[in-house]
């Protein structure tokens, strides 16, 4: 299974015993949207709902940090996602939350994970079937395992300011990256990590919500000044759209990209971290 699958591919594979479809929609605060209610009102047949708001480290002072391996494995088992499953993720979120779910599943040991290109919006636009209510699958064993080699902490990023071993790419919109627009979270500074490049995650998609082709993805990163031959750390507001950058780089064969999980929520909230703005 490819890492990016089409609606046509999914429609043809539905019913396969090892296939698991997952709605992992999460919305930004203030949208007034309820992802679980939307899922129950209409989802791709067979899909279970992954609650990303619960898949966090509830003991960490920074919001939306990656959960412990045992908690993640337990939640996957209860969804019926287990060792040997082929997992297809989709969302209906403006911040493309399926990429965050993909990153976590890969980090915690799942091998066969894909994102549905265009998400449920494309599925609906093509007039494909939807199901209402809530799906429940038999529990399956998910081995608790963790590889955090592609995760960076604030200490890592601070050290990298001097070593410059890794490039930092920020997935936020240009106005927030430059500091022209205030951060929506109270108490969080404006601006960006010094030396970081800006590749807004929205620039990686076509108008219909599908990913750009490989050549266009490559051109988008290079056009922002990124050297694709060197390792990368991605950042955003709270570690969600940074995963879109990682997934897009994976699509073009670049797998040495790491996630700064605390992202600007952590960096911008610390008065001691250096911040840059662009006039």
Catalytic residue status for 24: no
CA separation (Å) from 130 to 10, 103, 209?
13, 26, 19
Q: Which of 236, 245, 248, 258 is catalytic?
A: 236
Q: What is the DSSP string of 127-143?
A: T---B-S----------
**Triad 229, 254, 99: Cα angle to 5°:** 140
Residues designated catalytic: 236
């Amino acid at each position: 299974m490819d890492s990016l699958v089409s609606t046509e591919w999914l429609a043809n594979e539905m019913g396969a015993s090892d296939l698991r479809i997952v709605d992992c929609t999460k919305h930004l605060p203030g949208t007034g949207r309820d992802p679980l209610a939307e899922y129950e009102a209409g989802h791709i047949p067979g899909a279970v709902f992954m609650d990303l708001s619960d898949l966090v480290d509830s003991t960490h002072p920074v919001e939306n940090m990656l959960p412990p391996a045992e908690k993640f494995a337990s939640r996957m088992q209860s969804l019926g996602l287990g060792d040997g499953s082929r997992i297809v993720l989709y969302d209906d979120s403006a911040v493309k939350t399926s990429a965050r779910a993909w990153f976590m599943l890969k980090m915690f040991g799942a091998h066969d994970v894909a994102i549905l290109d265009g998400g449920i919006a494309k599925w609906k636009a093509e007039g494909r079937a939807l199901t209402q209510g809530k799906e429940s699958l038999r529990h399956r064993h998910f081995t608790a395992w963790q590889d955090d080699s592609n995760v960076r902490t604030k200490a890592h990023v601070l050290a990298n300011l001097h070593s410059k071993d890794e490039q930092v790419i920020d997935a936020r919109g240009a106005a927030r990256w430059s500091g022209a627009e205030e951060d929506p979270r109270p108490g969080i500074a404006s601006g960006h990590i010094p030396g970081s490049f800006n590749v807004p995650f929205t620039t990686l998609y076509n108008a219909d919500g599908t990913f750009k082709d490989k050549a266009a993805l490559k051109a988008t990163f290079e056009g922002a000044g990124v050297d694709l031959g060197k390792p990368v750390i991605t950042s955003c507001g709270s570690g969600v759209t940074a995963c879109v950058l990682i997934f897009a780089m994976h699509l073009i064969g670049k797998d040495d990209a790491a996630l700064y999980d605390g992202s600007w929520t952590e960096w911008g909230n610390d008065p001691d971290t250096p911040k840059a703005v662009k006039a």
